[in-house]
């Protein structure tokens, strides 16, 4: 069976994954029409905005890519039916948050959006389609998608592929342009292999073929969860050691350098921090944990769950250190927080450590004064409310948001660095010190500051994984 040459793609879901991925496919494949659809009209309007600074997602380099392709072969709209009807290949890129209700609450992925997409594709399709799961999904979801598709149509053939996305936010465009590998899983029968080849040809427009890894469907799905679990495990491992460093006077960065130069371990993802965040790590590990329980493997489930528990511990430990250092009471005190996004160069705040650190401080009645270069005040409030730290009215009383770091730190009792934005390294720390209450505490949750310089200024500096 010949692999079909793809000329039209539709992507359902214009979020952090769908938006940048489709923009790069359109940029690199001018012969393919790429139509990105979403139920959220505001999101689509923002993607279509004349002002490229207003794209709904902030990613370095993304506006240039969108500028190249938009209107040529990249289109954004809310017309999902048309998108499905016209496309030979359909990517499902909708959100799959952790379930907040019912069976699997707090652990399993909520597949309602994916299921809705599958039903809509089934209803609208009048010709054969290749359906690609792009969202992170539990293993064997492709099979459920296939069941829904096949039960709802007459005579149309659907091939379902798994093509997990490995881009990291903040470096999405770079990761999409030069991926370590592209993973494509599909059925190993004749039509499945042909569909895998069709998608391989799309990526082969810019990715060397030897970097395109073809697997069976379930291996591809499980690889995504495993990759994220391994990456998060490294961070929890180094963060667990950071706690021990603080007690013993060892330096966690020195340890990371020492162990990272062992080529079997490698240097990446060994940066101790206030805790990992983002939409993937926690969600995917909890998903893995749920799967293990489902398949009767409680020991394996407990093993991976510990990675999340150490991360929760790290966030709480950081907040507790602030409270303890400020003589065990922060009530009415002003604590400045620099950074709210879960990492630098993104406006995404999902599962950011900032939410939990701020939440703990607010519960102890501290005033939290925040500056982040890309996150809005409303987003911060929503995050705190969603995480259960109070109503909008309650959190608004103790949360204050500023347009720069100097205003946020004025008259503060303590400053904490939560996100490693480059601009925080360049701040006039002497000026900040001078406008703070003394003793001036500085909690470096990312170890981005030069300790010697900061100590010389006079700060009482506490860094993750470093003794006093
Ligand atoms: C991650 C995976 O890297 C990516 O392949 C997958 O597709 C989605 O999930 P992302 O969540 O965007 O990407 O960011 P990542 O760079 O992995 O960082 C995740 C969190 O870990 C951030 O909060 C980051 O600050 C933290 N981190 C990362 C550390 O604390 N220390 C490190 O050494 C590395
Ligand atoms: P991710 O990080 O996985 O890309 P996002 O939340 O950033 O997640 O994006 C998912 C997008 O999918 C959102 O813009 C949401 O409006 C969209 N979406 C969810 N369900 C549907 C649906 N049934 N049809 C079209 N779009 C959907």
Task: Establish whether residue 92 lines the binding site of ligand 2, counting it when its CB lies within 6 angstroms of any ligand atom.
Answer: no
Q: How far is the CA of 453 from the centre of ligand 2 (A)?
A: 45
Report how far apart the first and last C-alpha atoms of the chain are (Å, whole number): 67
Task: Establish whether residue 307 lines the binding site of ligand 1, counting it when its CB lies within 6 angstroms of any ligand atom.
Answer: no
In whole angstroms, give the CA distance from residue 123 to residue 65: 33
Residue 353 near residue 318, CB atoms below 8 Å: yes
The confidence score (pLDDT) of residue 417 equals 98
Name the pLDDT band for 110 (thresholds 50, 70, 90): confident
* Ligand located closest to 281 CA: 1
Residue 206, strand partner residues: none
Q: How many CB atoms lie within 10 A of CB 254?
A: 12
Task: Establish whether residue 338 lines the binding site of ligand 1, counting it when its CB lies within 6 angstroms of any ligand atom.
Answer: no
Q: What DSSP string runs through 316-361?
A: HHHHHHHHHHTTT--TT-EEEEE--SSSTT----TT-HHHHHHHHH
- What digits encode the pLDDT tens for the residues 20-63? 999 999 999 999 999 999 999 999 999 999 998 889 998 999 99
- Write phi, then psi, for 387 (nearest 5 degrees): -80, 0
CB-based contacts of 13, cutoff 8 Å, min separation 6: 38, 91, 92, 93, 94, 95, 113, 117, 134, 135
In whole angstroms, give the CA distance from residue 80 to residue 143: 23
Quick one: which of 278, 275, 344 has its CA closest to 316? 275
> pTM of the predicted model, to two decimals?
0.93
* DSSP 8-state symbol, 151: H
**Which residue is it, tokens 């010697």?**
452
Query: Per-residue pLDDT averaged across 1-14, rounded?
Result: 95
CB-based contacts of 383, cutoff 8 Å, min separation 6: 340, 349, 352, 354, 355
In whole angstroms, give the CA distance from residue 361 to residue 241: 24
Task: Establish whether residue 369 lines the binding site of ligand 1, counting it when its CB lies within 6 angstroms of any ligand atom.
Answer: no
Task: Establish whether residue 356 lines the binding site of ligand 1, counting it when its CB lies within 6 angstroms of any ligand atom.
Answer: no
- What digits encode the pLDDT tens for the residues 351-371? 999 999 999 999 999 999 999
The residue annotated as part of the active site, out of 88, 133, 165, 420, is: 165
Atom of ligand 1 nearest to the CA of 420: 25
Using CA atoms of 170, 176, 182, 184 in order, give the dihedral in degrees to the nearest 10: 100
In whole angstroms, give the CA distance from residue 327 to residue 413: 11
Angle, to 10 degrees, between the axis of helix 298-325 and the axis of helix 353-363?
Answer: 50
Q: How far is the CA of 270 from the centre of ligand 1 (A)?
A: 11
Q: Ligand 2, from 11, 20, 38: best to mutate by most atoms within 8 Å of Cβ?
A: 38
3 state SS of 395:
helix
Using CA atoms of 293, 299, 302, 307 in order, give the dihedral in degrees to the nearest 10: -120
In whole angstroms, give the CA distance from residue 6 to residue 19: 19
The confidence score (pLDDT) of residue 99 equals 82
The confidence score (pLDDT) of residue 3 equals 92
Q: What DSSP string runs through 7-45?
A: -EEEEE--STTHHHHHHHHHHH-TTSEEEEE-S-HHHHH
The confidence score (pLDDT) of residue 101 equals 86
- 331's tokens: 């009530």
Name the pLDDT band for 324 (thresholds 50, 70, 90): very high
Task: Establish whether residue 171 lines the binding site of ligand 1, counting it when its CB lies within 6 angstroms of any ligand atom.
Answer: no
Whether 10 is catalytic is no
Query: Per-residue pLDDT averaged across 441-465, rounded?
Result: 97
Query: Per-residue pLDDT averaged across 245-255, rounded?
Result: 95
């Amino acid at each position: 069976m010949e692999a079909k040459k793809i000329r039209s793609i539709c992507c359902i879901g214009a979020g952090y994954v769908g938006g940048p991925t489709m923009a790069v496919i359109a940029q690199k494949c001018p012969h393919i029409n790429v139509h990105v659809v979403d139920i959220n009209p505001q999101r689509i309007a923002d993607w279509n905005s004349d002002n490229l600074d207003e794209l709904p997602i902030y990613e370095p380099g993304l506006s240039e890519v969108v500028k190249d392709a938009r209107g040529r072969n990249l289109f954004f709209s809310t017309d999902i039916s048309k998108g499905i009807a016209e496309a030979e290949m359909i990517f499902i890129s909708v959100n799959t948050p952790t379930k907040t209700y019912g069976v699997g609450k707090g652990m399993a992925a909520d597949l309602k959006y994916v299921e809705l997409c599958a039903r809509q594709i089934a209803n609208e399709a009048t010709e054969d389609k290749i359906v690609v799961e792009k969202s992170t999904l539990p293993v064997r979801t492709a099979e459920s998608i296939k069941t829904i598709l096949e039960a709802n149509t007459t005579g149309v053939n659907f091939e379902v592929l798994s093509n997990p996305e490995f881009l990291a936010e903040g470096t999405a465009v770079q990761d999409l342009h030069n991926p370590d590998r592209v993973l494509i899983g599909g059925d190993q029968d004749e039509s499945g292999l042909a569909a895998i080849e069709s998608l391989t040809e799309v990526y082969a427009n810019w990715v060397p073929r030897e970097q395109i890894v073809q697997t069976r469907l379930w291996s591809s799905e499980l690889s995504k969860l495993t990759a994220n679990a391994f990456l998060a495990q490294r961070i929890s491992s180094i963060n667990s050691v950071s706690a021990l460093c603080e007690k013993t006077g060892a330096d966690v960065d020195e340890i990371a350098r020492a162990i990272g130069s062992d080529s079997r371990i490698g240097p990446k993802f060994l940066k101790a921090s206030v805790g990992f965040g983002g939409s993937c790590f926690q969600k995917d590990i909890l998903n893995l944990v749920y799967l293990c329980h489902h398949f009767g493997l409680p020991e394996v489930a407990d093993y991976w769950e510990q990675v999340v528990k150490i991360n929760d511990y790290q966030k709480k430990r950081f907040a507790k250190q602030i409270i303890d250092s400020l003589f065990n009471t922060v009530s009415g005190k002003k604590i400045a927080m620099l950074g709210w996004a879960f990492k630098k160069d993104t406006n995404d705040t999902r599962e950011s450590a900032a939410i939990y650190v701020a939440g703990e401080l607010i519960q102890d009645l501290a005033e939290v004064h925040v500056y982040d270069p890309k996150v809005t005040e409303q987003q911060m409030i929503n995050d705190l409310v969603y995480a259960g730290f109070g109503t909008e009215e309650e959190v608004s009383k103790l949360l204050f948001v500023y347009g720069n770091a100097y205003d946020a730190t004025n008259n503060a009792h303590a400053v904490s660095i939560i996100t490693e934005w480059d601009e925080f390294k360049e701040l006039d720390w002497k000026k900040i010190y001078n406008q703070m209450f003394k003793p001036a505490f500085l909690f470096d949750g990312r170890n981005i500051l030069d300790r010697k310089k900061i100590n010389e200024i006079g700060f009482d500096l506490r860094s993750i994984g470093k003794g006093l």
